[in-house]
A and B are shown apart, each in its own frame.
Chain A
Amino acid sequence: MTSDIALSVKDLKTYFYTNNRCNKAINGVSFDIRRGKTLCIVGESGCGKSVTASTIMQLLPTLSRIEAGSITYHAERGDIRIDQLARNGAEIRKIRGAEIAMIFQDPMTALNPVYTIGFQIEESLKYHTDLSLKEIKKKAIDLLRDMGIPMPEKRVDEYPHQFSGGMRQRAMIAMAMSCNPKILIADEPTTALDVTIQAQIFKLMDKLKAEHDTAIMLITHDMGVVAELADEVAVMYMGNIVEAGSVDDVLRSPKHPYTRALLDSIPVLGQGKKQAIKAIKGATPDPYERPNGCSFAPRCDFATKECDVMPDEEYISKSHRIMCANYKAVS
């Protein structure tokens, strides 16, 4: 392994089962996460972003299963096929928190309300390092200080409800970064926070990425966040990555009709209340009754007969790939 790829996902399919019906939540997704780079996964609610993150961590609910494909974690000790590890088994537990860490959307509910912040940070360290209790305590305080929390010696013994929203998320990040993970998965980490705090959190994540060479997978539905943070972008729709590439590829020359529609639908600040917001027509299809071909075809302005068959992934350039039969007509 000479490349800088920390984790690669190949043709991953995760299905959810309810009452004999099957929701193909992730329907063949491939991407790589690179060291020291941020991969942003964007898409609307229910498109499979969070499921992708959960699948990588083997945190799926009971009635779901990795149907096909592979998740390979390129560890220093060799490649590990995460998809083949037992759910909640000893091996995945060794990776979770220590090598792949995750932060969640709402830091209020993601922290246990009855334990101190310190206790919850120290818990990871206790399980993943050989440090003594004294060192662990010190490390927890240092982590909080690194995250920019004032008076960490005092704050470490406080409970989540005594922290503000932004501080809670910092504490979450401190928890996630406690064992210096190789990969950090952030599932909409700032959705529950206000914009100024959002900027601080992202600044912090960027700093960590630079200092520790961490690979970051950031899930968001905010294009502004993508533009600011991402090195690479993957746009998801109905369980597929419809377009992926570097930020410049995707944001500056979007090829997929969905990406374009998504970018067009962003309201522009300063144009006042009367600006016409170009919403995407229609609604996302019922996940149990997907269109046979391209999932976006029923809502797409460029749909043709060819769209009745599921399009293949096609590389436009070395980094830019797309899943659309008509992308040439679009641009």
Chain B
Amino acid sequence: MLTFIIRRLLIVVPMLFVISFLVYLGLELTPGDAVSHMIDPEVASRISAEQLSEMREALGLNKSFLERYYIWIVNVLQGDFGHSLAGGVPISDIVFDRLPATLELSFIAIVFSTIFGCLLGVFSALKKGSLTDNSLSVVGMLGISIPEFFFGLVALLIFALNLQWLPIGGRLLPGYETIWDRLPHMVLPGFVLALMMTAGVMRYSRSAMLDSLSRDFIKTARAKGLPEWRINFIHGFRVALTPVIVLIGFRLPTLIGGSVIIEQVFQWPGIGNEFIAAVRGQDYPLVMMIALFSVFAVLMASLIIDVLTALVDPRVRLD
């Protein structure tokens, strides 16, 4: 297994190279550049072509595409992630500023959705066909089909505007106040994100559990005279766990990449929000860095999934 992990980690390096080039290419193909986004359209008519090309030169945008990519990649390899084109803040500062907010929100959502999703899904499967199961299925369907932004806005409308129980958005900076001051800000986005994720985990674990309970080995376990809890959990749930782990694993990248929509709706100062702003402004060094972080997170998550499934299911062999 160790060789497998090492090999996979080694593959990550060339993959990051290729993906970084593709993202860079994609950015190059979009019309306009960072400068055209920096200038107010009203001022644009009064700016001469010389001034524009001076600005481009200052930002290094006048060089050819390959040249810029080469400069960028060499800098990154030397540990210099560059500066944001808009504002000139070092990108590493931006990322480390935003990462805790995203981590905090996604971590809460993933932990909650995993625990509640599995519990409800298994419960639903064990009570198949009952009123509880049917209502949970309906709730799960709604959770999957209603878009996050809609759900988030409704939650804002009810709890923040009408009832005024919770703040409408944003997040106090860490260290600014105690955790108790920050908690109210976390409740709504955390709740909405967790709820959407729970719905998915619930439906997934329900069907995985039903599938595993219908297998022959459940009958064998029963024929051995084992008590029902042991049949359901030690035999049934253990086998149902593999697909559920895969689903949860695929969500791990949100820890770093953030949930773009939820962060937008709640003005959560996380990576996802920053990413949207960077793409809009064609702030390519920032887009590149966030994209690379996300890609790295996805690659790591799939490695983690592979290792975990191998640990849970002895039939999976990593070599």
Distance in Å from the Cβ of A158 to the closest Cβ of chain B? Answer: 9
CA distance A92 to B222 in the complex (A): 10
Q: Mark B214-242, 1 if CB is under 8 A from A, else 0.
A: 01110111111111100000010011000
- In the complex, whether B312 has a CB less than 8 A from a CB of chain A is yes
Contact between B313 and A114, CB atoms less than 8 A apart: yes
Contact between B220 and A111, CB atoms less than 8 A apart: yes
- In the complex, whether A304 has a CB less than 8 A from a CB of chain B is no
Give the residues in chain A near B220, CB-CB below 8 Å: 102, 104, 110-112, 172, 175
Distance in Å from the Cβ of B223 to the closest Cβ of chain A? Answer: 4
Q: Mark A78-119, 1 if CB is under 8 A from B, else 0.
A: 000000000010001111111001101010011111110000
Give the residues in chain A near B222, CB-CB below 8 Å: 59, 88, 96
Distance in Å from the Cβ of B233 to the closest Cβ of chain A? Answer: 12
**B residues 174-225 in Cβ contact with A at 8 Å:** 215-217, 219-225
**B residues 220-276 in Cβ contact with A at 8 Å:** 220-228, 235, 238-239
Q: Pick the contact of A109: B216, B221, B226, B228 (CB < 8 A).
A: B216
Give the residues in chain B near A175, CB-CB below 8 Å: 220, 224
Give the residues in chain A near B31, CB-CB below 8 Å: none
Q: Pick the contact of A111: B217, B227, B228, B312 (CB < 8 A).
A: B217
Distance in Å from the Cβ of B236 to the closest Cβ of chain A? Answer: 9
- In the complex, whether B315 has a CB less than 8 A from a CB of chain A is yes
Which one, A26-34, A121-129, A202-210, A240-248, is touching chain B?
A121-129
Contact between A161 and B315, CB atoms less than 8 A apart: yes
CA distance A133 to B228 in the complex (A): 22
Give the residues in chain B near A172, CB-CB below 8 Å: 220
Contact between B221 and A112, CB atoms less than 8 A apart: yes
CA distance A93 to B224 in the complex (A): 8
Q: Mark A137-162, 1 if CB is under 8 A from B, else 0.
A: 00000000000000000000001010
Distance in Å from the Cβ of B246 to the closest Cβ of chain A? Answer: 15
CA distance A133 to B219 in the complex (A): 25
Distance in Å from the Cβ of A84 to the closest Cβ of chain B? Answer: 18
CA distance A93 to B225 in the complex (A): 4
Contact between A124 and B225, CB atoms less than 8 A apart: yes
Chain A interface size, under 10 / 10 to 19 / 20 to 34 / 35 or more:
20 to 34
Contact between A127 and B225, CB atoms less than 8 A apart: yes
Contact between B219 and A59, CB atoms less than 8 A apart: yes
Chain B interface size, under 10 / 10 to 19 / 20 to 34 / 35 or more:
20 to 34
Contact between A96 and B314, CB atoms less than 8 A apart: no
**B residues 134-171 in Cβ contact with A at 8 Å:** none
Q: Pick the contact of B228: A88, A98, A110, A128 (CB < 8 A).
A: A88
CA distance A106 to B219 in the complex (A): 12
**B residues 266-319 in Cβ contact with A at 8 Å:** 312-315
Contact between B225 and A110, CB atoms less than 8 A apart: no
Q: Mark A54-66, 1 if CB is under 8 A from B, else 0.
A: 0001010000000
Contact between A97 and B313, CB atoms less than 8 A apart: no
Q: Pick the contact of B238: A93, A109, A114 (CB < 8 A).
A: A114
Contact between A97 and B216, CB atoms less than 8 A apart: no
Give the residues in chain A near B314, CB-CB below 8 Å: 113-114, 159, 161
Give the residues in chain A near B215, CB-CB below 8 Å: 109
CA distance A113 to B313 in the complex (A): 8
Give the residues in chain A near B312, CB-CB below 8 Å: 114
Give the residues in chain B near A159, CB-CB below 8 Å: 314-315
CA distance A127 to B224 in the complex (A): 9
CB-based nearest A residue for B227: A93
Give the residues in chain A near B238, CB-CB below 8 Å: 112, 114-115
Q: Taking each of B221, B225, B227, B312, which has the highest tally of chain A beta carbons within 10 Å of its own beta carbon?
A: B225
A128 in contact with B225 given A112-B239, A159-B315, A161-B315 (CB within 8 Å): yes
CA distance A59 to B221 in the complex (A): 11
Give the residues in chain A near B217, CB-CB below 8 Å: 109-113
CA distance A320 to B168 in the complex (A): 85
CB-based nearest A residue for B228: A88
Give the residues in chain A near B226, CB-CB below 8 Å: 93, 97, 123, 127
CB-based nearest A residue for B223: A102
Distance in Å from the Cβ of A281 to the closest Cβ of chain B? Answer: 34
CB-based nearest B residue for A159: B314
Contact between A95 and B223, CB atoms less than 8 A apart: no
CA distance A128 to B227 in the complex (A): 12
A98 in contact with B225 given A114-B314, A159-B314 (CB within 8 Å): yes
Contact between A106 and B216, CB atoms less than 8 A apart: yes
Contact between B216 and A123, CB atoms less than 8 A apart: no
CA distance A161 to B313 in the complex (A): 11
CA distance A88 to B126 in the complex (A): 15
CB-based nearest A residue for B129: A62
Distance in Å from the Cβ of B235 to the closest Cβ of chain A? Answer: 5
CA distance A113 to B315 in the complex (A): 7
Distance in Å from the Cβ of A101 to the closest Cβ of chain B? Answer: 7
Question: Can you list 5 A-B pairs with a CB-CB distance of less than 8 A?
Answer: A92-B225, A96-B225, A97-B223, A109-B215, A113-B315
Q: Which residues of B contact A (CB under 8 A)?
A: 215-217, 219-228, 235, 238-239, 312-315
Top 9 A-B pairs, shortest CB-CB distance: A97-B225, A96-B225, A97-B224, A109-B216, A112-B217, A93-B225, A102-B223, A159-B314, A110-B216
